[in-house]
Structure 1
């Protein structure tokens, strides 16, 4: 008999890929979501709003072999645990390395302290919400895997962070590109297909515990060089110091008018976490060059020059380069 798998929210990016991977494994998969998007091929869709009473009524009479939850809402996870906790043999909660209280020590692992969980009625904070979700997820099943991914990248990424760099180098071709001065900075990503493969395989074998799903930590300059080489960029690269970028209103990490992947020097441990437990548990890490090639192909298909949710618009970047070259 095939596994019965329930993916809560399985129509977005990561959740959808998890549901698809379980289908390909031969499982009978149900996804519970608001219905804004179709279910993955081969999966059944249950339309429900997790904020509403009775959201799990259509799935609480099934004995599930696996439940996967990725929500960042503690209330959603707690309600799912209350409704389904006695119906699952195993559960996987997909959290984040953002839960850790400190990010200044390279090589830190799962034993590091996490932030305080978000309390009822407190202003929303992503890291604290994820910790509260982890606590709630402990009641989803007798055996629960808490997977804390690093920055998830790959084809279809809706955040536009990692894809900014190969796309920007591809857009610029022979023209100039602005990058942050990268000395001492690092980047650490996990390819979405590697993460999904691990989520499914660890769920199938009933992995019980907490681990950081992170790839290799690389010097940021090396990552940018790989992206530039993949895109075939031959123009100038202008590396601006952190203080200059901050003075000119360029943000770290993500969002509008940012340089994605660039982090403040004081959080040097965020992109340099230990992945030893992930690798020991069978987690795969493909070469970074392969991930960049996959991302660039996806970016070309979606349009390398499109406006995106993270990074500099090309006109903004060119104006900044002009100021930088002029010494302003």
Structure 2
């Protein structure tokens, strides 16, 4: 936007790797036009994600229309021989359930596929629990493929990746480095090819190029140390994955039901009716009835599901996990615990 096609093309010529255009704009159409015309290989295809993360007043219906333009633009480039892999992101606010993350990914996947997008990068904002984050990403991948095929969009490819925790970061380099290292561990242990990094400056100001270089070196050495280690299959992982999948399927099928097969219509009706909901967002159309806390292993759980129509099995699973935390801490989970958990990773000893 600031420099136009010619200046953006200089970056393309100077780079040996693909370039992705990332934005926090509700309306990124002009910026997408500039980036793709300059030879960049990805824009963003986000609607509900954009509303939750960066918007206040725009309606989901209007945001979907803007997203459809960006998605169709990427598809046109690909159809004419210029490969594109738009980012389907579910970073949200950093205080969202694993199921909500996956639900957003699958809905965005379907909306982009409707516009002809054949390759999407799934950028998952993580909650910082290794087992839950791996389960979440596996559910997203599985259901993105399944629901696109189910709705007639064949041949769509998905590449999974991890985006750093978007909650509050610690205001000291040592603790920030621990956050970076842990964020790098999750995609390695899950076997996912995509890794995005933040840097030590995250809690202080706009990240610097020097800080980002340090993060890259740290993450690269983590890859060297970890080698081919992966999270082994286990009962806890399978159980977590099955609960997330059951939650996401329930919401997706309800969207398709009330939208009469149209995911966009179902999403808009779901928000209006109050059963598509998360806890923290500047977006005024979000119902805000949900409360989330961490369990004894720091996984994110529903303390209050609001009006989300979760199956009773999922609700009971979350209640059981919260009860383990209550037993450990010797107190009941309540709004005070919710507030404490929001600052749990940024509080210095």
TM norm. shorter chain > 0.5: no
Higher relative contact order (CA 8 A, sep 6+): 1
Q: How does the TM-score come out when normalised to structure 2?
A: 0.28
| Higher radius of gyration, 1 or 2 | 1
TM-score (norm 1): 0.29
* Greater fraction of residues in helix: 2
